[in-house]
């Protein structure tokens, strides 16, 4: 990895707080990022909402019939809660405010910046893509709770096959066409379209495997899916 180029990480809410905050994982993740900061790297970390967002969205649906904008706004608030939590975890190494608009990133003098969702109609994945564009970064790491992208849903199909490398065109064919608030997909289809148009590379991997993340950052072979 190029130390001068910011490393954009889309950190899934599903691994921050799968059912309450995963303190063991967070401690390991924080220490790993600090290790690479000491080596001269710097990071932009965009957090997802994960189960927190889905729980609130499911609850509101039992009370009334929300619009997609309503659901998105709840989801955005969830991502920003996670972002503030992770920002505080990094202490003095993190910029004092989270990013609210990835198209207008403020000047900063810290090696770590946190952000969450942006605006209705898209996910934190798209915020990560726009952060990359604003900072002229070309690679994004997507940390979630899956080892690979599969050719079909492995929870439903026992013959689902893992994919190590795939083009954006082929990847988008296995995604829904439209953004659905709270959808559990490997990558937001709107973000995938933008990443393809910008010529970006996204690596999707299981964030719980910290050594695997280190392998990727060190330019070694790793377990995951590369989309480009």
Assign domain 7-227 to its CATH architecture. Answer: 3-Layer(aba) Sandwich (3.40)
pTM of the model: 0.93
Q: Where are the domains of the chain?
A: 7-227
Pairing verdict, β 43-47 and 7-11: parallel
Give me the pLDDT at residue 132, please.
95
Q: What is the pLDDT of residues 125-165, one digit of tens each?
A: 999 999 999 999 988 999 999 999 998 888 888 899 999 99
DSSP for 141-185, written as a single string:
EEEES-SSEESS-TTT-TT--EESEE-HHHHHHTS-SS--TT---
């Amino acid at each position: 990895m190029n130390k001068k180029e910011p490393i954009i990480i889309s950190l899934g809410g599903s691994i921050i707080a799968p059912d309450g905050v995963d303190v063991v994982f967070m401690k390991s993740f924080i220490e790993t990022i600090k290790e690479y900061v000491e080596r001269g790297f710097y990071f932009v970390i965009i957090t997802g909402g994960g189960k927190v967002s889905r729980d609130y969205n499911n609850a509101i649906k039992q009370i009334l019939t929300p619009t997609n904008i309503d659901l998105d706004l709840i989801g955005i608030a969830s991502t920003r809660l996670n972002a503030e939590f992770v920002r505080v975890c990094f202490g003095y190494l993190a910029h004092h405010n989270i990013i609210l608009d990835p198209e207008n990133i403020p000047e900063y003098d810290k090696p770590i910046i946190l952000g969450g969702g942006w605006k209705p109609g898209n996910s934190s994945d798209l915020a990560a893509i726009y952060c990359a564009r604003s900072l002229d970064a070309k690679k994004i790491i997507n940390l979630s709770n899956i080892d690979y992208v599969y050719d079909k849903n492995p929870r439903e199909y026992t013959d689902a096959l893992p994919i190590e490398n795939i083009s954006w065109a082929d990847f988008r064919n296995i995604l829904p066409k439209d953004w659905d608030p709270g959808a559990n997909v490997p990558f937001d289809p709107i973000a995938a379209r933008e990443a393809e148009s910008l010529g970006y590379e996204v690596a999707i991997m299981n964030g719980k495997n910290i050594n695997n993340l280190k392998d990727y950052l060190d330019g070694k072979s790793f377990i995951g899916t590369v989309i480009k």
